[in-house]
Amino acid sequence: MSSKRILFLVEVAIFTALALLLDILPISFKIWAQGGSVSFAMIPVFILAFRWGIKGGLLSGFLWGLLQIATGTAYILTPLQGFIDYMIAFTVIGFAGIFAKRIHLAVKSGETKKYFTYITLGVLLGSVLRFISHYTAGIVFFDSAVEGQPNWLYSLIYNGSYMLPSFVLCTIIVFFLFHKQPRILLNIAQR
pLDDT of 140 strictly over 70: yes
Residue 117 has a CB neighbour count (10 Å cut-off) of 16
Q: Which domains does the chain have, with CATH numbers?
A: 3-189 (1.10.1760.20)
The pLDDT score that the predictor gives to residue 189 is 46
DSSP β-bridge partners for residue 38: 29
- Rounded distance between C-alpha atoms, residue 165 and residue 41, angstroms: 13
Residue 104 has a CB neighbour count (10 Å cut-off) of 21
Per-residue pLDDT tens digits for 4-14 = 999 999 999 99
CA distance from start to end of the chain: 15
Type of residue found at 40:
F
pTM: 0.91
Per-residue pLDDT tens digits for 65-119 = 999 999 998 889 899 999 999 999 999 999 999 999 999 999 999 999 999 999 9
pLDDT band at 41 (very low <50, low <70, confident <90, very high): very high
